[in-house]
């Protein structure tokens, strides 16, 4: 079975890091009419007719050219323009979370390029001054580095986050259950896997145990790695795990989690088919974790 999140790594682009400082090469590829450009206003993209819109360099506005790489024999760039357009046309320009439904159709092949573009756009948007000397930062290396006048270099950051499906009972049995939680701001019936950020000096497995204990009061024993997914919202790498519970009494923190419930496979199927349990969808690793535990596809999604 191919899980939804695996589609993001099925056909990756060559990031061409060796050419990021080659101005002549960059200009040559930008001049090629076959090159494709994703216009980003600040940190947002404007879909056209429900699709991610890649334009030619000649149709791109002024802004920072960010090399994404090469894919299918052509070069791909992001053009980071001023945020004024997305502010003036509010509702038409979408952040990455709003774009996810547009990546679940025939534009899915471009998802790694979109994630790359918006991950850098988010970093460039919030990283304006050098953390060492407070001087302004200027982009270099085709948008992949920032340098101040003192020569201090800043690189894009990625924050590791763990996401886990928590299970209890004999694996594979009818009585085995998985634990899902929901936040108060979500629509009624929406549940998902638990997740949280890894803290300094902490192993990923211990981050799983700590986050589950903090959010729902469940103690975790064995932790098994499942897979990972880039998640630039704004700068995360989601690392998925299957966590085996050693206790089952749920005590939610009432801060991040409003409700958490155990589901057997039969209950999950029945509620998902009825539409009263709405599970994560699209290309999210959360969906992959749930279907991995369930043993196949499930109906309904966010």
Rounded to 10°, the helix 265-274/285-294 angle is: 120
Regarding the domain with residue range 159-294, which homologous superfamily does it belong to in the CATH classification?
Answer: Nucleoside Triphosphate Pyrophosphohydrolase (3.90.79.10)
| pLDDT at position 163 | 98
Q: How many helices (H) does the chain have, and how many strands (E)?
A: 7, 13
**Which pLDDT tens digit goes with each residue over 140-196?**
999 999 999 999 999 999 999 999 999 999 999 999 999 999 999 999 999 999 999
Q: What angle do CA 155, 158, 160 make, to 5 degrees?
A: 150
Cross-strand pairs, 48: 51
Q: In angstroms, rounded to a whole number, what is the distance separating the alpha carbons of residues 298 and 281? A: 10
Q: In angstroms, rounded to a whole number, what is the distance separating the alpha carbons of residues 162 and 236? A: 10
Q: How far is CA 192 from the centre of its chain?
A: 15
Strand ranges, E, within 136-215: 138-140, 145-147, 153-154, 159-168, 177-182, 194-197
**Which pLDDT tens digit goes with each residue over 272-294?**
999 999 998 877 899 999 999 99
The pair of three-digit structure tokens given for residue 220, joined into one six-digit string: 């975790």
| pLDDT at position 18 | 97
The pair of three-digit structure tokens given for residue 39, joined into one six-digit string: 């216009």
Domain 4-154 CATH assignment equals 3.40.50.2000 = no
Task: Report CA torsion sign: 230, 231, 237, 238.
Answer: negative
Nearest to 291 by CA among 265, 271, 252: 265
Give pLDDT < 70 ranges for the chain.
Answer: 1, 4, 101-109
| pLDDT at position 293 | 97
Order across the sheet with 153-154: list the strands: 138-140, 145-147, 153-154
Q: In angstroms, rounded to a whole number, what is the distance separating the alpha carbons of residues 58 and 45? A: 18
> pTM value?
0.89
Q: In angstroms, rounded to a whole number, what is the distance separating the alpha carbons of residues 218 and 50? A: 42
| pLDDT at position 107 | 61
**3-class DSSP state of 230:** strand
Q: What is the DSSP string of 258-285?
A: SEEEEEEHHHHHHHHHHTSSB---TT-H
Tell me if 4-154 shares its fold with 159-294. Answer: yes
Domain locations along the chain: 4-154, 159-294
């Amino acid at each position: 079975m191919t899980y939804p999140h695996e589609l993001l790594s099925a056909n990756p682009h060559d990031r061409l890091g060796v050419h990021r400082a080659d101005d002549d090469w960059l200009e040559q590829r930008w001049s090629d009419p076959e090159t494709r450009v994703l216009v980003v206003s600040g940190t947002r993209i404007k879909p056209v007719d429900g699709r991610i819109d890649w334009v030619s360099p000649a149709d791109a506005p002024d802004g920072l050219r960010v090399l994404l790489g090469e894919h299918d024999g052509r070069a791909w760039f992001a053009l980071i323009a001023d945020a004024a357009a997305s502010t003036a046309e509010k509702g038409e320009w979408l952040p990455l979370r709003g774009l996810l439904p547009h990546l679940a159709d025939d534009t899915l092949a471009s998802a790694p390029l979109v994630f790359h573009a918006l991950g850098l756009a988010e970093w460039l948007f919030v990283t304006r001054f050098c953390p060492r000397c407070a001087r302004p930062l200027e982009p270099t290396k085709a948008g992949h580095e920032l340098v101040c006048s003192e020569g201090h270099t800043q690189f894009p950051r990625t924050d590791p986050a763990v996401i886990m499906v928590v299970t209890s009972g004999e694996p594979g049995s009818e009585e085995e259950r998985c634990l899902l939680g929901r936040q108060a701001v979500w629509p009624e019936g929406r549940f998902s896997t638990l997740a949280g950020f890894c803290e300094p000096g902490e192993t990923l497995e211990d981050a799983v145990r700590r986050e589950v204990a903090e959010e729902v009061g469940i103690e975790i024993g064995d932790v098994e790695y499942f897979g990972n997914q880039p998640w630039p919202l704004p700068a995360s790498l989601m690392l998925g795990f299957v966590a085996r519970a050693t206790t089952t009494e749920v005590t939610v923190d009432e801060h991040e989690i409003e409700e958490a419930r155990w589901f057997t496979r039969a209950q999950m199927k029945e509620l998902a088919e009825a539409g009263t349990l709405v599970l994560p969808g699209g290309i999210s690793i959360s969906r992959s974790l749930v279907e991995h535990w369930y043993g196949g596809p499930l109906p309904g999604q966010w």
